[in-house]
Amino acid sequence: MSLVSLRELSLEIEKIYSEMGEVFSHFQQQSNLMCLPQCGACCLAPTVEASALELLPLALYLLDEGLAPETLDSLKEPPPSCIFYKKLNEEGSKGFCGVYQKRPSLCRVFGAGARLNKNGAKELSLCKKIKEAHPAFLSQDISEAPLMGLWKSRVRNLSFALSIHDQAINLSLKEALEKVLLLADLETPDPIKPIDQVS
């Protein structure tokens, strides 16, 4: 796989991300199941998982900004929670995403969406804080609630090779960065030596 083909793949992922953003934010607004202002508590959880594929747009962005090597360095011993979470208070319950436009699938659908239960019926999947803030959620019409798994699998279907496993977000970012840095290195032509230095 070349860097050009990874860039094409990344554009496909971003198209799905853009649709995903519209669909989930439409449901949140129409149902009023919005996140709490400035809340970012879920970003602290070590359970935020993604595949390397989902982090390809972010890895390419960091490469293009010249930030890929230092980011990879900071992931040598990855901390348990996402390195891009910017805390606004000491405990981190308030904060924001430092790479909002490039965040992976789970970060786009977590909060208010739907899943299928073991009987195949649609049910709401809400974060605890949203449930507490909107106790009337039980009477919610869920027919329009988007299925989180369906959107995640739309991304996965673009490349099974790069989405073999979901793992902690920092580990998948490391994998994606290693891949783009290796390809960038292989595809950078050697500088042309002056003729008198050619042996």
x-or-dash pattern for ligand SF4, window 121-140, by CB under 6 A?
------x-xx----------
Which of 20, 72, 82, 162 forms a contact with ligand SF4 (CB under 6 A)?
82
How far is Cα 61 from Cα 129, in angstroms, rounded to an integer?
Answer: 32
Tracing tokens 């496909």 back to the chain, one arrives at: 12
DSSP readout, 11-57? HHHHHHHHHHHHHHHHHHHHHT-PPPTTB-GGGG-TT-EE-TGGGHH
Site for ligand SF4 contains 56 (CB under 6 A): no
Under rule CB under 6 A, how many of the chain's residues touch ligand SF4?
Answer: 21
Element (H, E) at 85: strand 85-87
Does the protein bind ligand SF4 through residue 174 (CB under 6 A)? no
Among residues 191, 176, 183, 166, the alpha carbon closest in space to that of 49 is found at 166
Contact between 36 and ligand SF4 (CB under 6 A)?
Answer: yes
Is residue 168 part of the contact set for ligand SF4 (CB under 6 A)?
A: no
In the complex, which residues of this chain contact ligand SF4 (CB under 6 A)? Answer: 35-36, 39-43, 48, 82, 84-85, 97, 99, 103, 107, 110-111, 127, 129-130, 169
